[in-house]
Amino acid sequence: MITVTEAIQIVKQQTPTLSPELVKLEDALDRFLAEAVIADSDLPPFDRSQMDGYAVRAADTHDAPVRLLIVGESVAGAGWHYELLAGQAVRIMTGAPVPKGADSVQQVELTRELNEGATVEILRSADLGKSIVGRSSEIRAGEMVLREGERINAAMMALLASFGYAQVSVGREPRVAVLATGSELVSVDRRPGQDQIRDSNNYSIGAYAALAGAIVELMPLAGDDPGLLKRQITAAAERSDVVVTSGGVSMGVYDFTKTVLKELGGEIFFERVALRPGKPTVFARLPNGVLVFGLPGNPVSVSVTFNLFARTSLLAMQGAQEPALEQEIAILERSVKGAVDRESYLPGQIRTGEAGHLLAQPLKWGGSSDLVAFARATGLIRVPAGVATVEIGSTVRVVRLPS
């Protein structure tokens, strides 16, 4: 049995990065950059006014109020491209180029035009450089704007557009086949009979995989038929990068997943992790390179193990800089119990308190099958192995669940 940290490291080591692809800028949101983004020009590309007002020479305003001759107008997209001389002013709008010779912009509220717009009275002196954003003050041409492996958010879309990235090289979206096992399962549109339950794992796994950027295919239920499971994994592996199964990975007589993977020639990297919930988790690779995650059948175990291991693999495939869930420090709002031999990842609600500290409220749940309580979880509270109880007010490590 290996630790959670060791299992995550194995997943990173054994996961290949998929070949990048070019997408249109409008399709790049939430994708992972497969190349560094380089500025092709200074930003801003010229000295730019921060407000509406008048471009002036600061020295001309020291004895304000003073009157200056208005010699032109500079607006966004149509600058005044002459040199401003002593005693002159240029009417200027926010975002417009500051004319050569001007070294300050006085805001319009501190001025008034006279003589039918021929002159302007500057009512208060303007400081040198006031309200001017200098050329290349944000970035210079040739400098790196974004790094390879960063996930593109809405703000980054503006950067890509500003530097001419009409097409963006991004990591390919992995194709994921999701397959649930267990003769007790029936499809969601059926009423369960005696001793049956509706399949829920396919839908939580599919949703988490989609949040990780994957293209998801939900496979038919495999029951407890090893022949059917073998055929379905084989079929899924022909058109997927990753196959995620749930159930059938423990030590019972109806737990066929590991047997089937071995019959298919799969290389099993680990099959038990010192984790609560989720100890019987399998990670393997088929001969054609397709990765397989065999997750436990209980719904909470599925969510925990998917986000710790399978999600890490899916993000690594897309070239993410750090594919594993980021751990943060929080203050525990209620005591929790750990396990002697396993690291625990317990469902909780993570929030920011009034003092700005991160707080972790453990959820009351009935174990790894309690999907009702887990539906309210926003994160997982980590309790190291061998720690019997973590008291209220203690600091703990937490990870946030994707949403």
Residues 190, 254, single domain; the answer is yes
Domain annotation covers residue 293: yes
Tell me how far apart the alpha carbons of residues 235 and 233 are, in angstroms, rounded to a whole number.
5
Residues 239, 357, single domain; the answer is no
Yes or no: say if 300 and 12 are a contact pair by the CB < 8 Å rule. Answer: no
At 165, which CATH number?
A: 3.90.105.10
Q: Give how many domains the chain has, as a whole number.
A: 4
Which amino acid, one-letter code, is at 57? R
Residues 127, 249, single domain; the answer is no
Q: How many CB atoms lie within 10 A of CB 176?
A: 29
* Per-residue pLDDT at 368: 66
Residues 30, 104, single domain; the answer is no
At 72, which CATH number?
A: 2.170.190.11
Residues 253, 358, single domain; the answer is no
Domain annotation covers residue 291: yes
Residues 287, 235, single domain; the answer is yes
Which amino acid, one-letter code, is at 183? S
Point out the residues of the chain with pLDDT beneath 70.
Answer: 250-255, 367-369
At 352, which CATH number?
A: 2.40.340.10
Residues 209, 306, single domain; the answer is yes
CA dist 375 → 7, 38, 41, 254, 318 (Å): 26, 42, 48, 28, 28
Residues 166, 178, single domain; the answer is no
Match 């499971």 to its residue by tokens: 229
Residues 197, 237, single domain; the answer is yes
What backbone phi and psi angles, to 5 degrees, belong to 35? -150, 155
Domain annotation covers residue 322: no
Domain of residue 148, residue span: 20-43+138-171
Tell me how far apart the alpha carbons of residues 347 and 382 are, in angstroms, rounded to a whole number.
9
Tokens of 382: 């980590």
* Per-residue pLDDT at 252: 53
Residues 192, 313, single domain; the answer is yes
Predicted structure pTM score: 0.88
Residues 6+ apart with CB under 8 A from 70: 54, 88, 89, 90, 91, 113, 117, 118, 119, 120
Residues 146, 161, single domain; the answer is yes
User: How do residues 268-307 score in pLDDT, each as one tens digit?
Assistant: 999 999 999 999 999 999 999 999 999 998 899 999 999 9
User: How do residues 145-172 score in pLDDT, each as one tens digit?
Assistant: 999 999 999 999 999 999 999 999 999 9
* Per-residue pLDDT at 58: 97
Residues 233, 344, single domain; the answer is no
